[in-house]
Amino acid sequence: MRKIKIRYFVLMTCLALIILASGCINTDPRTKPGAPSNLVGIAISHRGIQLTWQDNSDNEDGFRVACNIYGGSKYYEVGDLPANTTSFVHSGLDPLETNNYYIQAYNEVGEANSNVIEVTTLSGVTILDYVLGERWNGDAYVTGHARNDTNEEMDWVEITVWYYATFDVLIDAAHDLIDDVPGGTTFEFEVRGSAPRVDVTRFDIEVTDVDIYDWTSSAKEAEKEVRPESEWGLNGR
């Protein structure tokens, strides 16, 4: 009886070793990937934003690019990238469009999210020169030239001026809306204020809105298969 027990023990031990050697028992189960870090976004044009990040894992199946493309707090998948990717260009956006982004590393075990960043596309317009003047009734105005740096016709360009008095007190804000600006052309603008020129000590000027009516190139129309984050089973960022 004792020999039988010894033989049974030896047999079971050998069987266990064979099973382990064959990989039938996973002694090193996968874990979810480490979260990407150092997410940075740069506007590269009036239509595109480039994202770069640090890959902190070696077991991800891929990366999802999440963006609140429709505004608000809900994010959508705008890119599904292979493992070891560390950059992505989000194209087809609108001028001066502001979006929030994060990157999600994922595998069959789980997901991990990067930091969230906010990036705004360029306007596609350069203000070339400007001068502060005085209208016939004494009110201030700013006139100058700007250029459409793109090859697309702009339905309108809005240029805004903020007028300040002594001690940087804001006394007026006004804008000029220039319609139908062809691509690559230079145009004039004049922003008429209502503050007396004599009271204005300085002013700020900026392109504040650009509209290009082209639904076919808009990301909101071109990204037909964007998926809301609820489909990923996320639990926040």
Max mean pLDDT range (173-182, 205-214, 222-231): 173-182
DSSP string, 51-78: EEEE---S--SEEEEEE-TTSSS--EEE
Weakest-pLDDT range from 19-33, 89-103, 174-188: 19-33
Residue ranges covered by each domain of the chain: 37-122+217-231, 125-212
* pLDDT of residue 5 exceeding 80: no
125-212 has the same fold as 37-122+217-231: yes
Cα-Cα-Cα-Cα torsion 126, 127, 128, 132, nearest 10 degrees, comes to 180
Average pLDDT over residues 30-44: 95
pLDDT of residue 138: 97
Please state the separation of Cα 139 from the chain's center in Å. 40
Average pLDDT over residues 60-70: 94
* pLDDT of residue 156 exceeding 60: yes
Model pTM above 0.85: no
Helix (H, G, I), strand (E, B) or coil at 234: coil
| Cα–Cα distance for residue pair 71/166, rounded to 1 Å | 38
Which residues, including other chains, have CB under 8 Å from residue 212's CB and lie 6 or more apart?
94, 95, 150, 152, 153, 154, 155
| Cα–Cα distance for residue pair 5/3, rounded to 1 Å | 5
pLDDT of residue 215: 58
* pLDDT of residue 25 exceeding 60: no
Helix (H, G, I), strand (E, B) or coil at 167: helix
Domain 37-122+217-231 of CATH type 2.60.40.10? yes
Which residues, including other chains, have CB under 8 Å from residue 137's CB and lie 6 or more apart?
none
Contacts 24+ apart (CB under 8 A), 169-175: 171/195, 171/199, 171/200, 172/140, 175/208
Please state the separation of Cα 50 from the chain's center in Å. 8
Average pLDDT over residues 218-222: 54
pLDDT of residue 211: 96
pLDDT of residue 217: 53
Which amino acid is it at 62? G
CA 93, 95, 99, 105 dihedral sign is: positive
pLDDT of residue 198: 97
Average pLDDT over residues 133-155: 97
Instruction: Tally Cβ neighbours within 10 Å of residue 175.
Output: 15
B/e letters for 42-73, b = 16+ CB within 10 Å, e = fewer, are ebebbbbbbbebebebeebebbbbbbbbeeee
Confidence of residue 26 (pLDDT cuts 50, 70, 90): very low
Domain 125-212 of CATH type 2.60.40.10? yes
